[in-house]
Chain A
Amino acid sequence: MAKTARQSATATTTPPTPGAGDNAEAFALRSLQDRLVANPRYAASDDELMHFYEQMLLIRRFEEKAGQLYGLGLIGGFCHLYIGQEAVAIGLQSALNPDLDSVITGYRDHGHMLAYGIDPNIIMAELTGREAGISRGKGGSMHMFSTEHKFYGGHGIVGAQVALGGGLALAHQYRGDGGLCLAYFGDGAANQGQVYETFNMASLWKLPIVFVVENNQYAMGTAVSRSSAETDFYRRGTAFRIPGMDVNGMDVLEVRQAAEIAFDYVRAGNGPVLMECQTYRYRGHSMSDPAKYRTREEVQEQREHNDPIERARAQLIERGQNEDALKAIDKDIRSRVAQAADFAETSPEPEPSELHSDVLVEEY
């Protein structure tokens, strides 16, 4: 079950004494967390909040539609929906410098693409494997890329992207371009060995990278407590002296605030941050998921009392937005998504010759 994010700041005592030797600067696991707790929510303007809301809603509606297209057989194979986790991608990516920063994630990647404002048509067309798809139908749901946005994918092999993110960060550092890498992974991926090789290198070389664990409480059918010795994922950088942050990933303003703090720290040349976002996936892992591993009530509880979109919506209403305006937005988004679905359904399949292109520079 979703643990509640964050113990209070007062739970920390004095920072641990640094190790002996000349590398004697103090390391405090919670140094950044304390800043977050002191001021946990981003002071969004009305426009910003509205924008976050729209973006999250777009992801939600897009994913609902993708689920339908899957049901109709228009999307084949695997398709991992981001429903429930929208606030994580939006809160973090809205704080990036889009000209400088790179992002990499796993296979549950539709939301991260949409968070960039990438045209839903070409994302949906990738899901249906069409020529017009963002990766020309060659990657599918799990493998999407955008050089324009410095989005480095969409990776199907659990955990691999974390180590690739280390490489992206090293390249940012080498070029001195001021950019950072945002590397997302799941609670399950956090148990891959290569993640820890990367933590060590990232901290050793003070790489500009923010590691984000999207802790949605399950890896397929496995609850975190059944697979992880340390379920407080934000603490897992401790041995590498990487400060951790424990963030409510169901609140876009808290995620955004955490992003500001983490990015500042990383941009200042301090090395990596490990951020855990507590979140929840409402749908099955992929499309065929018998859901034996959790109760209907548990999902219902999250949907009803912890939904990131509902939370933003309530705040908008509180700030004086009217219901009708919000309804109109939803309607717009639905038609935008329906249009993406039409596009993805009607655009042509790739030419068979595409099978042999992009394997190597030349074709053999």
Chain B
Amino acid sequence: MSDTAMTTATASASATAATASERRINMIEAINEALDIMMDRDPDIIIMGEDVGYFGGVFRATAGLQEKYGKTRVFDTPISECGIIAAAVGMGAYGLRPVPEIQFADYIYPGLDQLISEAARLRYRSAGEYIAPMTVRSPFGGGIFGGQTHSQSPESLFTHVAGLKTVIPSTPHDAKGLLIAAIEDNDPVIFFEPKRIYNGPFSGYYDQPVQPWKAHTDSVVPEGYYRIPLGKARIVREGEALTVLAYGTMVHVTEAVCREKGVDAEIIDLRTLVPLDIEAIETSVKKTGRCLVVHEATRTSGFGAELSALVTERCFYHLEAPVERATGFDTPYPHSLEWAYFPGPVRIGEAIDKVLAE
């Protein structure tokens, strides 16, 4: 059934206008559907986490799954992130395929030792005899007024660790296909869900009403099983003026800025940070000669630094301007100055101008 799999970086579903018969769902529903389909296909898949069972998850991502698959396959855990992740590693080594949820990415740190020292390295140190085929789902990112402990974007902590894969969807369509691929993957995958866009894409203008997913063509999600392979980026829109690399929420903010400014940008949604679709990036930057990286995470040693280095290494002779980064500041995520922290339309706009100016 994987015939709908996309094997190359393709233009997104938004390129085709949706027809009335197409089914539109939000990102939570897409994630829920992916979990449901995989639970149905593979009895070794187990969901565990804080409030995921009885309550269906604080964001409702696991709603209805305990009723359907029972308490032995979908269950609540104590507030013990280290224990949750460690159990998933052990279950994975024994042949199961756990999909633990860490309620917010900010709570993943108690489990870091198990992720870094155990999950990421089991395959290597056992010379491939044992693996940890687990997918840690976790909502991440800010823009919800969550303050320091409910807003962080810690993806580069994980991309820095050899032995982990890091996946970040930006649409309902991709969330479903990527989650299915992540669950089927035989390596530990950190699946960060941009919670700001669970219910609708975000333009970066926090004072404007939220646009629901239903109005966006990428909410058209096929029923049933399909996978989007890890390591394949998506060209959100083609363009000639510059390449913008983004993922998660920032894909939508960038898109809105380019639309508003009338900039002919080529926007690439990375979808997975590790493995990275470097070919798609290289092809685009060689075409446009200019590159901007956008992420919400703090700047220093952020994933943007890696992207900037890669682009410089691979496309140096094609570049007409230095690679720019529009990122969060090097501060904890603030409580009351959230929008001063967030790399919104103004900062992205300025960065675009700078890349285009040279």
Seen from chain A, the residues whose Cβ lies within 8 Å of a Cβ on chain B are 76-78, 107, 129-130, 137-140, 142-143, 156-159, 188-189, 191-194, 219-222, 226-228, 292-293, 349-350, 352, 354-356, 359, 364
Contacts and interface: CB of A to CB of B under 8 A. Distances in A.
Nearest to A349: B336
Nearest to B151: A77
Contacts of A130: 336
A188 B78 contact: yes
A228 B79 CA distance: 10
B336 A129 contact: yes
B77 interface: yes
A227 B335 contact: no
Contact of A140 (B54, B106, B147, B329): B147
Interface string B59-87: 00000000000000000111110110000
B225 interface: no
A220 B332 CA distance: 25
A140 B335 contact: yes
B110 interface: yes
A143 B336 contact: no
Interface in B94-153: 106-107, 109-110, 144-150
Q: Which of B78, B335, B337, B340 has the most CB of A within 10 A?
A: B335
B187 interface: no
A140 B150 CA distance: 12
Given A140-B336, A227-B76, A157 B107 contact: yes
B296 interface: no
B335 to A, nearest CB: 4
A222 B51 contact: yes
Interface string B211-227: 00000000000000000
A112 to B, nearest CB: 18
A355 B331 contact: yes
A355 B51 CA distance: 33
B195 to A, nearest CB: 12
B80 A77 contact: no
A138 B330 contact: no
B330 A359 contact: yes
A143 B146 CA distance: 12
A228 B78 contact: yes
B329 to A, nearest CB: 6
B254 to A, nearest CB: 22
B79 A356 contact: no
Given A140-B335, A359-B330, A221 B55 contact: yes
A77 B336 CA distance: 10
6 contacts: A129-B336, A143-B149, A189-B79, A227-B77, A354-B337, A355-B337
Contact of B110 (A107, A194, A356): A194
Nearest to B144: A77
